[in-house]
Each structure stands twice: as C-alpha cells, then as structure tokens.
Amino acid sequence: MEHALLHVSEELLRGVEKELAEEAEPISGKPFTSTGYVDGSNVVEPRRSIHVAVFSVASILLKNGKYSALARGAEEPIVSVIVPKSYGEQRANLLMSIIELLAARKALTSSLEAILLDGSFISEMMTVFSHPKDAAEALGEDYKKILDNLPDAEHLGIELEDRDISPNSVMGLFKEISDKAWQIYKERNTMFEKTSSKKSFLDFVCVYVETTVYLKALRDLLTASRELQVPLFWVAKDSETNLLVEKVGLEGWLNDVTLLDYAWRNLEDAYTTLRGKEFGRLKPCAADRKLVSEILGTWGDYSVLYFKLRKLGPVLQMTYPSYVDEDEALSALATLKELSDSRGYPKPLSYVHHMAVLNPEIARLVADEIYKRKADSIVRAAYAPSGRVKAGLR
C-alpha cells in the first residue's frame, strides 16, 4: 500500500511540481532592526480526577543585534491545577495560549517594529471550533438558554489590561478564572436536576470562562498591534494547512508543507503567499457569542506565507492578519532569513523554544508532591496516580 500511495502521489505531483517551483519568489525586503519573539511550553500530568499542568513562556527582544529577555521560560515555571478533568489537555493548551498572548502584548510596549510568535494565527482563530464546541454540544438543547444567562466578556470581572506575566501574576489570573467559573456554577446549577447534567454544566462553565478570557486576550493583542502599527506574525515549524493542495487539486493526498518539501527540495531563499480562507459559520461554542462574532468578523481575513531559508532546511509557515501589509511581511521574511541558522531555522525562534521547553517529568513531580501533602481523603484521591502507575506499570 505504501508503494501504491507513493506511486499515485508522484503521478499527481508531476504536473504541479514545476509550477510550484516557478511560482516561488526570492526573499527580498529590508530586515527589521527591533523585533520580539514569543514561545511557550506546557506539560500535563493526568491524575484520577484532575490534571496538573506546568507552563512556561519565553519572550526575548532583539534590538540592533542585542538580545534581552522579558520572560525567561522554564526558569520561571507556572503551576496550575485543571479541575474538572474534562478536556484537560485542550484546556491546558488554551491557558498556555493566554500566557503567550499576554507576553506578546507586553512586548508591544517595548518600541519594536514587529513581534513573531511560535505557532499559527489560524490555530488561534480556530480555537472556538475545538473543545469549546464540544462542551456546548454536550449540553444539547440547553445550550442557548444557558448561554443567555452567563456574563459576557465585559462583565466577567477578569481584567487583562497591564497584566504582568510573572508566575505569581499568571497563577493569580488562573485562580480568578477558576473562581469565576465556580461562582457561576454555584449560582446557576439549580436549573439542572440530574447529577450528570450538572457535571456537563460545570464543564461548560469552566470552558466558557477560559475561552472568553482567551478571546479577550487575543482581541486586545490584535487591537493594540494595529493601533501601535507593530505587526504580528506567527511562524509554525509544522502545519496541517491544506490551502495550497486545494488550489492545485491535490486535497486529501498531502498537506501544504509536504507538497512544498517535495516541490522545493532544490530551492532555498524562497517563498509563496496565499490568501487565507474564511473560518466558516459561527457554531455553538462555550464562549461569549458576541465576542466570538466580533473577532471572526474583525480579524477573520488573514494571509498564509510559506518559506524556505536553506536548501536542506524545512519549509516553514508564517500566518498573519490582513491588516499587516505586504512590505511588512517581506521585512519579517528578510529578518528571519538574516537570522537563520545553518539548518534553515531562525535563531531567535530557536532561542525562545529552548528557553521555554519543559522537562516532561516536571508535571508528574509536582503532582506527586501535591498528592503527598494532601490530607483530606477525597481530595487526596483526586490527585492519586492511575492504577497502572500505582501497580508499578508506568
């Protein structure tokens, strides 16, 4: 089957390979002299009824060839407990995104020409279509009635303006989020009679508050970026986007990066740009509907740029909102080219990655320590390792 797939793929590629290579443009433009870079990391340890998560965020500035750090990554770990356990890993990723957005917002005040974040602007915008949609669908017909009775983004009472990104400040923010969700649940859970329905409502409320705060952070960052005229770019090492393969009629066979890895295998210093697709119709989700509509309506236009800096290097993806003009995008590319290492990856993004990356064992060690210190039987049981681990079968 593998050989058959490769044969079919090669047959299909033969017709578009030359076209893609010829459409690639050389990277030009004037590099920025002052830029910021942001990346985050999180590791999650599932326990019997909760998740223990550890986060880190790295943020560095590069001005006239000199680096300075705004956030030091794994040197300043942030611990959070995710309760209830539902959607635990997805919720941890969302909380990580909140920290990254706050770090980028803080960097905006540092007199920069551009900020580059690890990841994808598409993924940032598509968050509402993942586990927030699942949490809404779990409520069934009660979804709209419940949503109408929840505080919107402006009345949650959780402020993000001038929020510090120190571990204590971020842990304080996460506590505010958790406390608000619990408050809403206590005030409104009497509308459900069944215990299972109350649990689905608790899941929904937790996701609602977390997602609404995330969307506030995203809106605030995009608004400030446009007002201050400091463009934002997201750079992804890996991507599953299919805009290009759809354009050339290869959807379902490959993704864009795989296609370009093949078609550009003899190229370097090359890029191509695509206009992004619409994000689709608003679906039921656990978030402030007005805010979701505002973000998709205001920031829903975006561009996707693929580039390759070294012949043997990877094809990378850069995504950015449509208010960023072409000259700024070319300057960002020229900056990344100028700062590329021998593997074809931008050095500052490599630095923040290595600053942020966490040892996968740290969440387990933190969870074990919390478990040891808990005296109350039911709380201690919630922090207990799985039966497999207790039996020595990790």
pLDDT digits (tens, 9 = 90+) for 62-105: 999 999 999 999 999 999 999 999 999 999 999 999 999 999 99
- The span from the first CA to the last CA of the chain, in angstroms, equals 35
pLDDT digits (tens, 9 = 90+) for 338-374: 999 999 999 999 999 999 999 999 999 999 999 999 8
Q: Is 203 inside any structural domain?
A: yes
Q: What is the mean pLDDT of residues 237-255?
A: 82
Euclidean distance between CA atoms 127 and 98, whole angstroms: 12
Q: Is 3 inside any structural domain?
A: no
**pLDDT higher for 288 or 11?**
288
Question: Phi then psi for 27, rounded to 5 degrees?
Answer: -70, 125
pLDDT at 252 over 60: yes
Q: Is 300 inside any structural domain?
A: yes
Euclidean distance between CA atoms 59 and 69, whole angstroms: 6
pLDDT at residue number 387: 66
Q: Is 315 inside any structural domain?
A: yes
| Banded pLDDT at 331 (limits 50, 70, 90) | very high
Q: Is 363 inside any structural domain?
A: yes
pLDDT digits (tens, 9 = 90+) for 159-181: 998 889 999 999 999 999 999 99
How many angstroms from the chain centroid is the CA of residue 227?
Answer: 23
77 lies in which domain range?
A: 32-386
Q: What is the mean pLDDT of residues 186-202?
A: 87
Euclidean distance between CA atoms 118 and 148, whole angstroms: 35
Q: What is the 3-state secondary structure (H, E, C) of 184-240?
A: HHHHHHHHCCCHHHHHHHHHHHHHHHHHHHHHHHHHHHHHHHHHHCCCEEEEECCCC
pLDDT at residue number 283: 77
**pLDDT higher for 221 or 250?**
221
Q: Is 13 inside any structural domain?
A: no
Amino acid at 270: A
Task: Give the count of alpha carbons within 13 A of 9, CB side only.
Answer: 16
Euclidean distance between CA atoms 374 and 368, whole angstroms: 10
Please give the share of the chain, as a percent, with pLDDT higher than 70: 94
Residue pair 341/350 in contact (Cβ under 8 Å)? The answer is yes
* CA-to-CA dists, residue 114 to 100, 194, 218, 250, angstroms: 15, 52, 16, 34
pLDDT at residue number 5: 52
pLDDT at residue number 140: 82
| Banded pLDDT at 114 (limits 50, 70, 90) | very high
Task: Give the position of tokens 């997805």.
Answer: 90
Nearest to 269 by CA among 215, 334, 218: 334
Non-local (6+) Cβ contacts of 272 within 8 A are 20, 23, 24, 25, 244, 260, 305, 306, 307
Number of domains, the chain: 1
Q: What is the mean pLDDT of residues 142-151?
A: 83
Q: Is 311 inside any structural domain?
A: yes
What does pLDDT average to over the chain? 90
For CA atoms 55, 206, 367, 385, give the dihedral sign: negative
Euclidean distance between CA atoms 29 and 329, whole angstroms: 9
% helix / strand / coil in the chain, to the nearest 5?
Answer: 50, 20, 30
| Banded pLDDT at 315 (limits 50, 70, 90) | very high
Which helix (H) or strand (E) element contains residue 317? strand 315-321
Task: Give the position of tokens 């917002």.
Answer: 105
Please give the share of the chain, as a percent, with pLDDT higher than 90: 70
- With b for 16 or more beta-carbon neighbours within 10 A and e for fewer, the 257-285 pattern comes to bbbbebbbeebbbbbbbbebeebeeeebb
Euclidean distance between CA atoms 388 and 394, whole angstroms: 6
pLDDT at residue number 60: 98
Instruction: Choose the weakest-confidence range: 48-52, 247-251, 330-334.
Output: 247-251
Q: How many CB atoms lie within 10 A of CB 117?
A: 28
Q: Is 6 inside any structural domain?
A: no
| Structure tokens belonging to residue 376 | 């109350």
Instruction: Choose the weakest-confidence range: 66-70, 118-122, 241-245, 336-340.
Output: 241-245
Q: How many CB atoms lie within 10 A of CB 75?
A: 12
pLDDT at residue number 308: 96
Which helix (H) or strand (E) element contains residue 366? helix 362-373
For CA atoms 279, 280, 284, 290, give the dihedral sign: positive
